[in-house]
Amino acid sequence: MKPYDMREMTLEELKIHHDSVVDELVNLRIKQKMRQLDNPVRVRHLRREVARAKTILREKMLGAKPGEVPGRPAR
């Protein structure tokens, strides 16, 4: 999912999306350990998706604008 799509979600929807991606990542890691993973690149994509979701969740909780770092003066 693209970041602009995530930014349009409500806080609750974003939390649900984050949790589902984390669950999928856990399942893929289990398959990876058992050598049953078909697409190992999917793990990398999901890790990045989790990071995106966490970043946007944090932005929403702090009321920051996209790309703005709270507590740091603008350039």
Closest CA to 45 of 65, 67, 21: 21
Pick the CATH number of 3-62 from 1.10.287.310, 1.10.150.110, 3.40.50.10170, 3.30.1360.200: 1.10.287.310
Query: What does the pLDDT average to over 8-12?
Result: 94
pLDDT at 71: 67
Query: Which amino acid is located at 35 in the chain?
Result: R
Rounded distance, CA 18 to CA 23, Å?
A: 9
What are the domain boundaries of the chain?
3-62
Q: pLDDT (tens digit, 9 = 90+) per residue, 21-75?
A: 999 999 999 999 999 999 999 999 999 999 999 999 999 998 877 767 666 666 6
pLDDT at 24: 97
User: Is 90 exceeded by the pLDDT of residue 11?
Assistant: yes
pLDDT at 73: 67
Which segments within the chain are labelled E, that is strand? none
pLDDT at 72: 67
